Structure 1
Amino acid sequence: MESPMNSASRFIEPTQDPCFVYYIHPADNTSLKVVSDLFNGEHYSSWKRSLILHLSTKNKMCFVDGSLPKPPSLDSKYKAWVRCNDLVIGWILGTLGPLIIKSVFFYKTAHEIWKDLEDRYGQTSNAQMYSIQEEIFAAHQEDDSIPEYFARIKNIWDQFDDVCPLPICTCSGCTCNLTMKYLKIQQDQRLLQFLMRLKASYQQVRSNVLMMMPLPPINQAYNLLLQVERHKQLSESGHSSETMAFAADRKKFYKPPHQNPQFGNYGSKPASGDNSYPSFRQNMGYRKRDLFCDHCKMTNHTIDKCFKLHGFPSDRPHQPKKFAHYAHGDDNNSETDSPFTKEQLNAIMSYISKQKDSKSKNSVPLIGESSNSAALFAERY
């Protein structure tokens, strides 16, 4: 027969035995955060669901639903029950807003607090259903992604299901499948709500889904839209990468004229205060037609860059134009080498000078008023 001493040595405190409902983990305390948002009288179903999950994992639901009554004061489990009850009360009060805490603070048991809150906020009302329906119709995608938009509207649907659940057939051996039919109608309605509030950029996908007979499940439509969104993101990122790569290559291989050897010193940076030097845009050829050399009477450059006056660069691949020499009567060039006579060259120079003067006066000469030199020029070309 077992001795009383051995029996006493095997006695375990109820709060230390994980198999008992009175077990309290060393990390359990009243300051433990149970839900993310405090309950202030709105979204009672969400608050209730979060609290039930926590109490169920801690094996303490019996203290709020009343299934574990308070034992007599002489019972060995009395102190363990009181300790667990106070712990659950602390968890509940930690999830309530300031105003609601004041209304339930002096209740002695967790079951009394739970029953009071259920009576006040757990009853379905027309105003509550109206408020949820209003949230559903106001939900639009706007700037949200597809996952964010779907999570937001699905949360509202779940709240509506909590206050207004679908009817369930309780007939034994029922073959009408009425519950499944109701569920299909509800899913089709929610699919339409989800599609009609999408952004205009998903219009083509929405049309494709609506063409399906019967309508697909809402999760299938969500997956389709998610793939389209990811494809758009990849396309945009790919286009951006190609643009950046092109800009990088252009910056790598492009050199300004004053840094490019094939241009010589042309386009080098002018000295400070030198206003006669053409701008960089002129050097690049944007307004070269407005330039005129007073020395050789030619366009496309100024006197400070005239090769005739300053000499040609040694590394320049081509030779100067011969008719510029003939225009100035250069003795080093024979008339037999020139494509024009000296009179024709003088006429061409005169025509160019007249054109320059007409541009400065914002007037364009008529074709009929051209000089004989212009006619000679046209006849030659």
Structure 2
Amino acid sequence: MSSSGILPAPSQNTSTHFLTPIQHLIIIKLNRDNYLLWKAQIVPYLKGQHLFSFIDGSLPAPPSFLPPTSTEITQATLNPAFATWQSQDQMIFSALISSLFEMILAYMVKCTTSCEVWNTLECMFIAQSRARSMSIHYQLATLRKGDSSIADYYHRFTHLIDTLTAIDQLLPHHEALSFLLAWPRFRL
């Protein structure tokens, strides 16, 4: 790791990168209601550390043992690339589970790799994530100014847009503008 704290991009070998302490960067711990916001913190953190390929499965574990040579008959040799991969994966695993509240952590006890943790969480929360996104879109579609000031109306509107952005559901500018300026919204 360089003195600036920036990690080099991973090369073909799977050298171990030491993670920046996650508890200083991930301020929202995962509970039953905030998966999309939690994920919006975790993904850039892991991508910034060049480690997302461990959890998305694109960097699978190398073989545990080296193939036997013709001179070796009985003794299997541990693959050093596997040992390095496993060490890095367990650091990611630890970082992930340290960002979970106890009620969610209980579902991770059978997981042994960071990819298994990630996939378990995705399965647990994918339906809830879709529902949350749909709920925010509905709130945008039904948002009315009513008796509130223009500033309050605009604040509610930008909060919904910002929430969509935070959960990786960026609304194109022209669509956001359509929601904001829809004529019936300003009726009392």
Contact 1:86–1:109 under 8 Å retained in 2? yes
Quote the Cα distance in structure 2 between the aligned partners of 1:28 and 1:125.
28
Match for 2:51 among 57, 60, 66?
60
Quote the Cα distance in structure 1 between the aligned partners of 2:38 and 2:168.
15
Quote the Cα distance in structure 2 between the aligned partners of 1:139 and 1:118.
34
Matched, 1:188 2:177: yes
Q: 1:159 to 1:76 in 2, by over 3 A?
A: closer
Secondary structure of the structure 1 residue equivalent to 2:80: coil
Match for 1:158 among 165, 169, 173?
165
Q: Which has the higher contact order (CA 8 A, sep 6+)?
A: 2
Match for 1:84 among 88, 99, 105?
88
1:261-280 alpha-carbon deviations (Å, 9 max, x no partner): xxxxxxxxxxxxxxxxxxxx
What TM-score do the two structures reach when normalised by structure 1? 0.35
Displacement, 1:71?
Answer: 1.8
Gaps of at least 5 residues in structure 2 are 1-6, 65-77
Identity %: 21
Q: 1:125 to 1:66 in 2, by over 3 A?
A: closer
Gaps of at least 5 residues in structure 1 are 1-16, 167-179, 198-381
Secondary structure of the structure 2 residue equivalent to 1:55: helix
Contact 2:9–2:50 under 8 Å retained in 1? no
Question: RMSD of the TM alignment (CA)?
Answer: 3.9
User: Given residue 132 of structure 1, which amino acid in structure 2 is its aligned partner?
Assistant: I
Secondary structure of the structure 2 residue equivalent to 1:48: helix
Secondary structure of the structure 2 residue equivalent to 1:99: helix
Number of aligned residues: 162
Displacement, 1:192?
Answer: 2.1
Q: 1:63 to 1:130 in 2, by over 3 A?
A: closer
Displacement, 1:161?
Answer: 6.7
Q: 1:189 to 1:22 in 2, by over 3 A?
A: same
Quote the Cα distance in structure 1 between the aligned partners of 2:26 and 2:144.
25
Quote the Cα distance in structure 2 between the aligned partners of 1:161 and 1:34.
18
Displacement, 1:159?
Answer: 6.0
Q: 1:138 to 1:104 in 2, by over 3 A?
A: farther
Counterpart mapping for 1:322-337 below 5 A: none
Computing the radius of gyration from Cα coordinates, the structure with the larger value is: 1
Q: 1:34 to 1:147 in 2, by over 3 A?
A: farther
Displacement, 1:138?
Answer: 6.2
Quote the Cα distance in structure 2 between the aligned partners of 1:124 and 1:98.
19
What TM-score do the two structures reach when normalised by structure 2? 0.65
Displacement, 1:46?
Answer: 2.5
Quote the Cα distance in structure 2 between the aligned partners of 1:36 and 1:148.
24
